[in-house]
Structure 1
Amino acid sequence: MRPNRTLALIRHNTGLLLAQPGPVVARLLMPVAMIAALKPIYEAAAGPSGTIGVIAGILVLVSLLTTGIVGTNVLSERLWGTWDRLRATARPFEIMIGKTTPLLAVLVVQQVIVLAFGYVAYGVDFRSVGLLSAVVLVWSCTVLSLGFALGALVKTSGALSAVQDIGSFFLSAFGGALIPLALLPAWLHVLAPLSPAYWAVSSLRAALTGDGATTALGLSVLALCTTAAATVTYLRLR
């Protein structure tokens, strides 16, 4: 892997991201508004712990929607006719790092904004900044790998939009991010662990309460999801 080629790709993709900032700004502001609106529902369902639940759930839901930005960034290369040229001039890992690094910064900022809002507005106590930082980083990598794999596999913008929208809400819904898991039917409790959103919510809630063991379990599963999606992307880029 050559650092100069990777840095060139990072600069190029950062420019593309800044040229159309609307989707990024929406992803940064949307979770704050949703948390304020849904907090009473979560508290009615789970009591005082509902505040942590709504912060974790909405953060996961909105960050999953960011897969569409990642996928579009990848699919655009194919629609512009530059996909084969990119693959011929850069190695798979260089392409992956070059395209995801700017979006990694967006996802980290998004989650920091949400967590800071919870701290300032609702007095949420962060028991372990270290655990929270690990969850933010690993979950961001999971979202990026899923979005990249999606963009590398689909063939049209319409297909990308449909899969991203439906998939994000579906995974969030039965993973307990959109609606508290306690309010879902019992049979969904069995299926919930199949969703990466379930483990992201679990890890965030555990990190916010200082539960290291539960956080570690969730991070392990998310790391496996990230590896699987990144492998699919790597094979598609070869």
Structure 2
Amino acid sequence: MLNNINEFVLIIVPLLFAVTIHEVAHGYVAYRMGDSTAKMAGRLSLNPVRHLDPVGSFFLPIILYFSGSPFLFGYAKPVPVNFANLYDYRRGTIFVGAAGVVANLICAVLSGLLFQFLIYAASLWHGSFLQSLVIPFLNMLNYSVIINLVLAVFNMIPIPPLDGSRILAMFLPESLRIPFQRIERYGMIIIILLLMTKSLGKIIFFFVTPLCNLLLGT
């Protein structure tokens, strides 16, 4: 049980950081492109407390972890964005929508680079106290790569209200854009059904697995 708790802590720390950086990226890009809603709400902060959602940041990861789910993810409270305030609505919507995904990809790459550096360093410290000290950080970085990649790929799925749907909507003709955006009211139901049938997991890991192998050097 203690090992499970220790492992969960090693997972929840990078998860909280990943969902925080995802939302801050949305708010920051929106601010730079003309909308200060997130800034005025105090959401351009790396303090996770400002972004935590009781269900998405705690209960969902706990349920997924202890139910033996093949992947773990969560979400934070969405950063408020008034897209009507953006200098260029179409371009701004694309950039704001892509910001969280790009932030997670950057975190995954940096975590992977640091992971491989520490693997090399640990090989030089073989049998020493430093090697045992670095193992928890290696585990945390390993989870950071996986979690950030899962979040990036998951959010790029073009199902409203996920980020990928906002980006896709900007490339659709208006006659299709409005009906597509109306799907948002059913979006979470669609996502839950896809999760229950495990088809969403297969889509996510189709992209995540090779990227993990590349970044973790496996």
Q: Same fold (TM over 0.5)?
A: no
- The higher-RCO structure (CA 8 Å, 6+ apart) is 1
The structure richer in helix per residue is 1
Calculate the TM-score normalised by the size of structure 1.
0.37
| Greater radius of gyration (CA) | 2
